[in-house]
Structure 1
Amino acid sequence: MSNPTRFEGTEAYVATDDLKVAVNAAATLRRPLLVKGEPGTGKTVLAHEISKALNAPLLEWHIKSTTKAQQGLYEYDAVARLRDSQLGDPRVADIANYIRRGKLWEAFTAPTLPVLLIDEIDKADIEFPNDLLQELDRMEFNVYETGETVKAHQRPIVVITSNNEKDLPDAFLRRCFFHYIRFPDADTMKAIIEVHFPGIQKALVREALTIFYDIREVPGLKKKPSTSELLDWLKLLLHEDLPLDILQSRDPKKLIPPLHGALLKNEQDVMLFERLAFMARREGAKG
Structure 2
Amino acid sequence: MKFTSTDKYVAPPDLTIAVNAAVTLQRPLLVKGEPGTGKTELARQVADSLGLPMLEWSIKSTTRAQQGLYEYDAVSRLRDSQLGDPRVEDVGNYIRKGKLWQAFDADQRVVLLIDEIDKADIEFPNDLLQELDKMEFFVYETGQTIRAKQRPIVIITSNNEKELPDAFLRRCFFHYITFPDAETMRKIVDVHFPGIKSSLLTEALTQFYQIRETPGLKKKPSTSEVLDWLKLLLAEDLGPEDLRRDGKSALPKMHGALLKNEQDVHLFERLAFMLKGKQQ
TM-score by length of 1: 0.96
Partner Cα separation in structure 2 for residue 50 and residue 194 of structure 1:
20
Deviation of the 1:154 alpha carbon: 2.1
**Structure 1, unaligned runs of 5 or more:** none
SS class of match (2:32): strand
CA RMSD of aligned residues (A): 0.7
Per mean C-alpha deviation after superposition, the further-off stretch among 228-237 and 89-98 is: 89-98
CA–CA separation in structure 2 for the residues paired with 1:84 and 1:203: 68
Structure 1 residue 218 corresponds to structure 2 residue 219: no
Once the two structures are TM-superposed, the CA of residue 84 in structure 1 deviates from its matched residue by 1.4
Given that residues 245 and 251 in structure 2 are in contact (C-alpha distance below 8 angstroms), is that contact kept between their aligned partners in structure 1?
Answer: no
Residue of structure 2 equivalent to 1:202: 198
Unaligned runs of 5+ in 2: none
Distance in 1 separating the partners of 2:91 and 2:239: 67
Alignment counterpart, residue 163 of structure 2, candidates 167, 181, 200? 167
Assess if the C-alpha contact under 8 Å between 2:31 and 2:155 holds in 1. yes
Question: Which amino acid counterpart does residue 68 of structure 2 have in structure 1?
Answer: G
Q: Please state if 1:184 is matched with 2:199.
A: no
Give the AA of the match of 1:74. Answer: Y
The correspondence for 1:134, drawn from 130, 133, 144, is 130
Counterpart residue number, 1:256: 251
Q: Contact 2:200/2:239 (CA < 8 Å) preserved in 1?
A: no
Which residue of 54, 64, 69 maps to 2:65? 69
CA distance in 2, matches of 1:226, 1:6: 28
Task: Tell me how far apart the structure 2 counterparts of residues 88 and 268 of structure 1 sit (CA, whole Å).
Answer: 62
Report runs of 4+ in structure 1 exceeding 6 Å deviation: none
Q: List per-residue Cα deviations over 1:59-81 (Å, max 9, x = no partner).
A: 00000000010000000011111
| Correspondence for 1:245 among 235, 241, 263 | 241
**Deviation string, structure 1 residues 100-148 (Cα, Å, up to 9, x no partner):** 0000001111110000000000000000000000011111110000001
Q: 1:270 aligns with which of 265, 268, 274?
A: 265
Amino acid of the structure 2 residue aligned with 1:58: M
Given residue 111 of structure 1, which amino acid in structure 2 is its aligned partner?
D
1:2-151 aligned at under 5 Å gives the runs: 5-151=1-147
